[in-house]
Amino acid sequence: MRRSGGLWVVALALMGASCRDSNAPGPSVTVRASVDRLQYHVGDSVSVPVEVENTGDRPVRVSGNFASMLEVRNAAGKVVFFGRSGVFAAVAYPPRVLEPGELINDRPLWGLVVIGPASPVAEPGTYHVRAAVRVLAARGYTFSSPLEVTIVP
């Protein structure tokens, strides 16, 4: 009898913890992306203006100094690029804290020198580009809506 009483205590504790977690508001980060134009030539760099906004009522931690990455998928849905182009020191930057209502702007590139798993030159075709921001509390990425970009010869 004593053993089952202990199990009930554990079960109630787990239920209480799970209820608390499910009702806790998650990080509220909105990522918006755009492109300067919808068509690029092979070898062009695709510049993607990105806005990252804390739309919640609590501070949110996002990954370091370079806030956004790009995810690029080809027409078949395969990721052909994830990261950001350019040259920067591979230093572990501390997380950045976004205060409620705070908005930051970034402009990652797809092209030039590749940082991250990628194809350095895109083949002609249609691609879907999303900006991604790593939200540390959520232990994952928050993505923008996809943008369609065409690469022509």
Is residue 42 situated within a structural domain? yes
CATH number of the domain within which 50 lies:
2.60.40.3880
pLDDT, block means (10 residues), the chain with 153 residues: 43 35 58 93 88 93 79 91 64 79 88 51 87 84 94 91
Is residue 13 situated within a structural domain? no
> Which tokens go with 63?
């990954």
Is residue 128 situated within a structural domain? yes
Is residue 71 situated within a structural domain? yes
- The pLDDT of residue 51 is 94
Is residue 10 situated within a structural domain? no
DSSP state string for 84-110: EES------PPPEEEPTT-EEEE--EE
Range of the structural domain that residue 36 is part of: 26-152
- The pLDDT of residue 110 is 81
- The pLDDT of residue 152 is 92
Please state, in angstroms and rounded to a whole number, the distance separating the CA atoms of residues 67 and 133.
6
**3-state DSSP assignment of residue 1:** coil
- The pLDDT of residue 86 is 58
Is residue 7 situated within a structural domain? no
Is residue 93 situated within a structural domain? yes
b/e per residue, 54-73, with b = 16+ CB within 10 A?
Answer: bebeeebbbbeeebbbbbbb
Please state, in angstroms and rounded to a whole number, the distance separating the CA atoms of residues 123 and 40.
11
- The pLDDT of residue 11 is 37
- The pLDDT of residue 12 is 34
Is residue 4 situated within a structural domain? no
- The pLDDT of residue 120 is 54
Number of domains in the chain: 1
| Partners of residue 101 on adjacent β-strands | none
